[in-house]
Chain A
């Protein structure tokens, strides 16, 4: 469903990778590895349509990525996108409404990530890991979005948090979703089709 061919990206005029091609089918997990500066984030941002690749094409269901694609893709970047002034629940509710869906089950999603008791706390009192959990709570509400692009989903999370994300991804893959993630840690997500992509060598 997600395919790239001869993809090349650069950052500040410096080539990061070139000739990158992969195909990810329904239920497939792609883990992007590589040392710092190898271009993992740049690749994910290109896949999300945020930055334009220097060369090559990205196709979703056989078509170049465009407006329809954004409906079928969830991108969670390094920055959690959590506002200090809003409560945890308001933050999650806004993120869900921005992506064009109803925010009915937010309480349950927070529970899934183990932060239900923080729901009414302004986000400025949260730790780095708790912020990350607020951002990741969207995963629990995004079952119907086929493609998940997760940039360092494990960063700043503790063991429990990592387990929640792992379970959410495994469940998504089991129902035929696609997951692309970058991580420096070991990824032991149960997946029928796991691919690893090594950048920077």
Chain B
């Protein structure tokens, strides 16, 4: 069973490595969006510090959204998804492996780049650490929820826009508590409750997300 998980994970990472452009696009999009805002708003340090976490989290959610339509589309088009459904391995495991690969190629690079963005907003060192921590816990949730959305909109014309309408509202709690952790750290409040809630979301979504995605994939291929 673990073999199928590793096989899918390895294959998806291999494909991502051979299509570096798509991975880089997402990262560059994230950096550009997060860097544009201070230019538009002006160089008032207190204002920038206050909005830094929110901006970074919104940029991360949009960047995740940008990469999600491709999650199942290629496998759907070339018949691999069909093979995943008829395989004896549990489909949820295959979906979980695809989500893990998606996170490693989008969420993780975003989280690692975020402290650099934070410097532009004049965030202090401990807030940069909090930003990194909140993204490391929160971006897997975006991938998990996004997978369910991507599966639901598979094969639908104009699915990209629909996917946005579907998953962005679901991203709200992650956004609120992710940005909240950094902001509370800045104002001297203990941020651990925010991070714990993010962790709870991650636990719930890693159970519910693949299950919902599996059900949607079975319907899409019926």
Hey, which bits of chain A sit against chain B, CB under 8 A?
48-52, 67, 70-71, 73, 75, 77-86, 90, 94-95, 97-100
Contact for A98 among B18, B89, B222, CB less than 8 A:
B89
Cα distance A53–B66 when bound, in Å?
Answer: 36
Q: Is the CB of B84 within 8 A of A83?
A: no
Instruction: Say yes or no: A81-B3 contact (C-beta < 8 A), given A98-B87, A98-B89.
Output: no
Q: Is the CB of B86 within 8 A of A70?
A: yes
CB neighbours of B74 from chain A (8 A): 83
CB neighbours of A94 from chain B (8 A): 7, 11
Q: Is the CB of A50 within 8 A of B85?
A: yes
Contact for A85 among B19, B82, B94, CB less than 8 A:
B19
Kindly state whether residue B83 has any CB partner on chain A within 8 Å: yes
Question: Per DSSP, are chain A's interface residues mostly helix, strand or loop, or mixed?
Answer: loop
Cα distance A184–B222 when bound, in Å?
Answer: 24
6 smallest CB-CB distances across A and B, nearest first, come from A79-B79, A81-B79, A97-B7, A71-B88, A85-B18, A70-B88
Contact for B15 among A75, A81, A83, CB less than 8 A:
A83
Q: Is the CB of B87 within 8 A of A99?
A: yes
Closest CB-CB distance, A102 to chain B, in whole Å? 9
Instruction: Say yes or no: A97-B3 contact (C-beta < 8 A), given A48-B86, A83-B15.
Output: yes
CB neighbours of A48 from chain B (8 A): 86
Q: Is the CB of B14 within 8 A of A97?
A: no
Q: Is the CB of B78 within 8 A of A83?
A: yes
Q: What string of 1s and 0s marks CB contacts (under 8 Å) between B71-106 and chain A?
A: 000100111101111111100001000000000000
Kindly state whether residue B221 has any CB partner on chain A within 8 Å: yes
Cα distance A95–B84 when bound, in Å?
Answer: 9
Cα distance A50–B221 when bound, in Å?
Answer: 7
Residue of B3, B15, B83 most packed against chain A (CB within 10 A):
B83
Beyond A50-B86, A94-B11, 5 additional contacts (C-beta under 8 Å) are A48-B86, A49-B86, A79-B82, A95-B83, A98-B84
A103 and chain B: residue at smallest CB distance: B7
B76 and chain A: residue at smallest CB distance: A79
Instruction: Say yes or no: A81-B7 contact (C-beta < 8 A), given A50-B221, A70-B87, A86-B14.
Output: no
Cα distance A73–B94 when bound, in Å?
Answer: 19
Closest CB-CB distance, B198 to chain A, in whole Å? 33
CB neighbours of B85 from chain A (8 A): 50
A135 and chain B: residue at smallest CB distance: B79
Hey, which bits of chain B sit against chain A, CB under 8 A?
3-4, 7-8, 11, 14-15, 18-19, 74, 77-80, 82-89, 94, 221-222
Instruction: Say yes or no: A97-B88 contact (C-beta < 8 A), given A50-B222, A77-B79, A80-B78.
Output: no
A75 and chain B: residue at smallest CB distance: B86
Contact for A79 among B15, B78, B94, CB less than 8 A:
B78
B83 and chain A: residue at smallest CB distance: A81
Residue of B7, B19, B85, B221 most packed against chain A (CB within 10 A):
B7
Q: Is the CB of A100 within 8 A of B14?
A: no
Closest CB-CB distance, A74 to chain B, in whole Å? 8
- 20 pairs, A vs B, C-beta closer than 8 Å: A49-B86, A50-B85, A50-B86, A50-B222, A51-B221, A52-B222, A70-B88, A73-B86, A79-B77, A79-B82, A80-B79, A82-B79, A83-B11, A86-B15, A90-B14, A97-B7, A98-B7, A98-B83, A99-B83, A100-B89
Cα distance A50–B82 when bound, in Å?
Answer: 8
Q: Is the CB of A83 within 8 A of B87?
A: no
CB neighbours of B221 from chain A (8 A): 50-51
Q: Is the CB of B79 within 8 A of A78?
A: yes
Instruction: Say yes or no: A83-B82 contact (C-beta < 8 A), given A70-B88, A99-B87, A100-B88.
Output: no
CB neighbours of A52 from chain B (8 A): 222
Cα distance A81–B86 when bound, in Å?
Answer: 12
CB neighbours of A71 from chain B (8 A): 88
CB neighbours of A86 from chain B (8 A): 11, 14-15, 18
Cα distance A82–B11 when bound, in Å?
Answer: 12
CB neighbours of B8 from chain A (8 A): 98
